[in-house]
């Protein structure tokens, strides 16, 4: 969310005090992220310790906080896990939002800085531990399973058809249409290749394992200490069951 939500800061700090026992002395809205239903803040407590506050409205699945907490408890230190309230819950309510509290990690994402060889090794190690994690049934049954649906491939083909046939008065739309049209052949090749891979995977029966389904440079945080962390920024869990052999 790039614009601050219509929620007084006092309500956020009151929630932190009542639910977490945390006295906030400073709070600052951070205009970050593409999700219009998620707002984030940097909060500083009375002891000068910084915290990261995420507010989510509308659709919210508790697996989005329960799973990273479990993985962190398994010793995967690169996962940024939510902190528990005074009653042990991993989120609190404030207004129409769910409030999630985590430590604030100073750093830059993978789009802002280049990952070193050491960072890549650490990231790969963390992802392997995620892939090999053994989840309790109570968590496993709540995680989406990859079905290799053709939905987005079909949507992209439809968009390419509209780009070829239509004229766009909006300059931004026209620029995007020109970009897609210029790379039409490559995009079709990628879509067709994804179709072939999906068809091949659906007839196989390898073991299903936990995967981070949105791993890209923007979701990798390089902390000031040099530690690679794997945050999650979306309203739903970025983890899913995917076909992969251990």
**How many structural domains are present in the chain?**
2
Residues 163, 125: Cα–Cα separation, whole Å = 42
**158 and 84 assigned to the same domain:** no
**156 and 237 assigned to the same domain:** no
Summarize pLDDT for 116-149 with one digit per residue, the tens: 898 899 889 999 999 999 999 999 888 888 888 9
Could you tell me the CA-to-CA distances from 94 to 6, 51, 100, 101, 102 in Å, in that order? 12, 17, 10, 12, 16
Residues 6+ apart with CB under 8 A from 14: 94
**86 and 36 assigned to the same domain:** yes
Cβ-contact 209, 239 below 8 angstroms: no
Q: Is residue 172 part of a domain?
A: yes
Q: Is residue 4 part of a domain?
A: no
* Confidence check: pLDDT of 58 > 90: no
Instruction: Enter the pTM of the model.
Output: 0.78
Summarize pLDDT for 174-219 with one digit per residue, the tens: 999 999 999 999 999 999 999 999 999 888 877 888 888 888 888 8
Higher-confidence residue: 212 or 69? Answer: 69
Domain span at residue 49?
9-144+213-243
Structural Rg of the chain based on CA atoms: 21
Q: Is residue 89 part of a domain?
A: yes
* Confidence check: pLDDT of 225 > 80: no
**124 and 185 assigned to the same domain:** no
């Amino acid at each position: 969310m790039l614009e601050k939500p219509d929620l007084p800061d006092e309500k956020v700090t009151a929630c932190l005090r009542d639910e977490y026992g945390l006295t906030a002395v400073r709070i600052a809205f951070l205009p970050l992220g593409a999700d219009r239903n998620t707002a984030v803040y940097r909060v500083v407590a009375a002891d000068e310790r910084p915290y990261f506050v995420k507010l989510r409205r509308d659709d919210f699945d508790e697996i989005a906080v329960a799973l990273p907490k479990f993985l962190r408890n398994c010793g995967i230190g690169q996962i940024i896990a939510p902190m528990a309230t005074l009653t042990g819950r991993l989120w609190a309510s404030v207004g129409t939002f769910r409030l999630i509290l985590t430590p604030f990690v100073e750093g830059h994402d993978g789009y802002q800085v280049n990952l070193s060889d050491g960072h890549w090794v650490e990231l790969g190690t963390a992802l392997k531990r995620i892939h090999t994690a053994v989840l309790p049934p109570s968590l496993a049954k709540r995680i989406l399973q990859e079905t290799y649906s053709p939905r987005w491939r079909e949507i992209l083909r439809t968009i390419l058809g509209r780009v070829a046939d239509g004229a766009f008065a909006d300059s931004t739309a026209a620029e995007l249409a020109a970009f897609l049209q210029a790379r039409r052949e490559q995009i079709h090749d990628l879509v067709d290749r994804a179709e072939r891979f999906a068809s091949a995977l659906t007839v196989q029966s390898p073991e299903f394992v936990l995967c981070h389904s949105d791993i890209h440079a923007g979701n990798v945080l390089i902390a000031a200490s040099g530690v690679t962390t794997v945050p999650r920024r979306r309203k739903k869990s970025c983890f899913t069951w995917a076909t992969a052999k251990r």
